[in-house]
Every structure is written in structure tokens, then in C-alpha cells.
Amino acid sequence: MKNHRGVTVVLAGTGINLALGILYSWSVFRESIGNSIATGGEGAFAWDPASINDPYALACLVFAFTMIPAGRAQDRFGPRVAAFVGGVLVSMGFLLIAHSVDYWTWVIGFGGLVGTGLAFGYSAATPAALKWFPPQQSGLVAGIVVAGFGLAPAYIAPLASHLVGAYGLLQTMLIFGIAFLIVVSSLSMLLVRPPPGFKPAEFQSRRDGDNRKTRETFPHADETPQTLLKKRQFWALWLLYFIGAGAGLMVIGSISGLAKLSMGEQAYLAVAILAFGNASGRVLAGILSDRFGRRKVLAGVFLFQALLMFGAAYASQSSGALLVVLVATLIGFNYGANLAIFPSYAKDLWGMPHFGVNYGMLFTAWGVGGFVMIKLSEILKTHSGSFTLSFLVAGGLLLAGLALALRLNDHKEAARTALRN
């Protein structure tokens, strides 16, 4: 019997993330705000250029820390309620900033309301989907659902660029606010948990002996949030998430400006192309981590990402559009891989009963890493005039993360090998 309901939940979760992924299109909005600051005049954004990324950086931070209460709400009230609340909050944030060029309004609207709404929507999509599928498919399922978040800029970036050109930035925010309310609230109705006693079709089709082998190989885990904070491995994963996410968000938040030098008004295309790398990295990393183990794939991602950061230091000084887009796309690919590996790792190690809160606690590293690296990158760029130093710092941190990743334990890696044999 095919798992049709589970597929529906996966598609609905992916659709919600396709909307929520507007966060990764900030660089398009950033360019419009920057142009307004430079032009000046009545109705212009009168911000300090060094603070231009503040709403985006704060949104990442709020998104991450709100994942803890949002995950708790998902665990307690179900994914429908959490996702619906997320859609309403994101919509409210966009409707608020659609009526002002004031710095603090954008900090509150985009950084606060949008960041909070993203957490409630994102916290609902992945857990709901994972519960419909067996452990050996966790990476694939998580990768597909979160791929929506990474792929979003592929359509939002050119759409936002067109709308800003046709109607202006504030009117574009109004359009997005209305669209969010309709799309996310509608799809949230399709997010449902499996009924009590449900077992994925893959389990049901196995012989009793294989079922026993599966249960023994993937023993039931039920770590509570209170015990998690005492585990060394939690903090190791937290630090790795901080590094991997922070390095990627630094590039994503500035890619439009980086590409502006070589691509001019078509710079938004770099954001859209990067999105395909971001999304494909999530799916492929999920599949590979199911096959070869989380630790091995995570270490490979950190090594590749470090090399790319050093390459980006050169690309940031280059006028070649192809080189800039290629490096940015590969960085997006590796960044996206983190978003598939870490939730799967969390499920492997700590189980599903408290997954919403447990992964929310781990996800705070994503927000702190993004906030720190985005702010640091903007400060370094303001003082040096380029992104070169930012990329070199990120590359060094990724190499340190590689050393830490190689020391992680992955007790399910042998389990997957046993199931395949």
C-alpha cells in the first residue's frame, strides 16, 4: 500500500517552505533599499549603510530562537495550527513594512514578525512529513521538504525584481503580505500527523524477521530537551551548525550586491541560480546521508564549503559574471546540505517524541551563526570595500568545523549498512 497521505504532507510542507523561503531573497530588497539611501530625497530610506542588513540578520536570529516555542507548539497543537500561525505572522510583518521606510519599523516588521512567522511555519513542515516515513528515508524526506525553502528565491527573486521595478518596494511588500496569508494558511490545512499506531508502508511490507531487524537496528530514542543540554554531542552539532549556516547565510544575504559589479541590473539572476544550488544540495545531501551516514557527508560538505569560500575571496575581486555565479551556486549547494543533514541527525540521535523542541534548540545555531556572520561581513565590507576578508574568515572557520565533524559519533551509520546488506 502506497503512502499517499504521507506524500500529500510532504508536498504541502514543501509548498509552505517555497513561500517562507522569501527570506533568502533579502539581497534583492537590500539592493533597492541601498539605492534609495544613495539617491536620497523625499520618501527615501534614510538608514546608516552599515545597518542595511539589520532586518535580515535579526530575522535569522528571531527565526532560530522562536523555533523552540514554535516546535513546542507543533508538538502540542499539531502542524496545522503552527503553520497557520506562521502564515499570519509573516503576512502581518510584510503588511507593516509596506507602509514605512523607517528603520525601526523594518526591524520590527521584517526582523521580528517575519522572523517569528518563519519559525512557526518551518517548525511544522518537516516533523509532520518525517512521521509518515521510516528512519532510513529521513534524509530524503527532510531534504525534499526543506528544499522548498532553498528553492524559493528561484522564483521570488525575479518576481520581486519585476514588482519593485513596476510598483516600487513598498507596494511589493504589500503584495507579498497578501499572498502569504492566502498560500500558507491554505497549505497548512494539509499538514496532518499519522493516526495512532501508524507504521510506514515500507515497514508493513517487510517480513516479521526484517521488522525485528529494523526495530533493533534503529532503536527508539526519546531524549527530552532537559537532558539534551547536558550532552557534549549536542553542543558539537550546535557549533557545527553555527559555522555551516553562518558561512552560507553571509553569502546568500549579499549575493545580489556581489553580482552587481559583473551583472548590473540582472544581478537578481544570481540569487535565483543560487537557489537551485541551495535546493539541490538539500535533496542530494539527504539521499547521501541516508546512504553513507550523516558524519561522512557533513565532513565532506564542510571541506568543500571551505575551499569554495577561499575561491569566493578571489571571485569577489573578479569581474567575471560566470565565476561569481558558479561559486555562489556551489556555496548555496553546500549551505543547503546543512539544512537536510542536521534535522536528520537530530531525529537519529534524539528521536521524534520531542523533535520539535529538540531541533528548535539545535536550530538556534543557524540564527546565531547567520546573525554574527552577516553583521561581521557587512562591517568588514564597509571598512575594507570588499567581501574578500569575510570569505577568508569563513573559510578558516569551516576548516575548524571539518576537524570537529570528523570527531562526531554516528551510531546509525553502521545501522544503515546493516539494513542494506
Amino acid in the structure at residue 418: A
- Supply the angle between the helices 268-292 and 232-252 in degrees, to the nearest 10: 150
Residue with cell 542494506: 420
pLDDT in tens, the chain (421 residues): 356 788 899 999 999 999 988 887 787 788 889 889 988 878 888 898 878 888 988 998 899 889 889 988 988 898 999 999 999 999 999 999 999 999 999 999 999 999 999 999 988 888 888 888 887 787 788 888 888 887 887 888 788 888 988 999 999 999 999 998 999 999 999 998 888 877 776 554 444 444 444 444 445 567 887 888 888 889 999 999 999 988 888 777 666 566 665 566 666 666 677 778 888 888 888 888 888 888 899 999 999 999 988 887 776 665 566 677 777 778 888 888 888 889 888 888 888 778 878 888 998 998 888 888 878 887 887 777 777 888 888 899 999 999 999 988 765 555 555 545 4
In DSSP notation, 249-273 reads: HHHHTTHHHHHHHHHGGGTHHHHHH
d(CA 381, CA 376): 8
Furthest-apart CA atoms within the chain: distance in Å: 75
pLDDT at 317: 63
d(CA 160, CA 234): 38
In the chain, where are the structural domains located? 4-194+221-420
Amino acid in the structure at residue 180: F
Amino acid in the structure at residue 94: F
Give every CB contact of residue 90 below 8 A, 6+ residues apart in sequence: 19, 20, 113, 114, 117, 118, 121, 177, 180, 184
| 125 in Cβ contact with 17 (< 8 Å) | yes
Residues in the chain, overall count:
421
Q: Tell me phi and psi for residue 40, to 5 degrees.
A: 70, -165
Residues 32-81 pLDDT 10s = 898 899 888 788 888 988 788 889 889 988 998 898 899 889 888 989 99
Q: Look at the alpha carbons of 175, 363, 331, 11 in this order and tell me if their dihedral is positive or negative.
A: negative
With CA atoms as reference, report the closest residue to 57 among 328, 368, 363, 333: 368
Domain 4-194+221-420: give its CATH architecture.
Answer: Up-down Bundle (1.20)
Residues 162-183 pLDDT 10s = 898 899 999 999 999 999 899 9
pLDDT at 116: 96
| 87 in Cβ contact with 183 (< 8 Å) | yes
Give every CB contact of residue 397 below 8 A, 6+ residues apart in sequence: 243, 246, 247
pLDDT at 139: 78
d(CA 149, CA 63): 13
With CA atoms as reference, report the closest residue to 214 among 412, 9, 6: 412
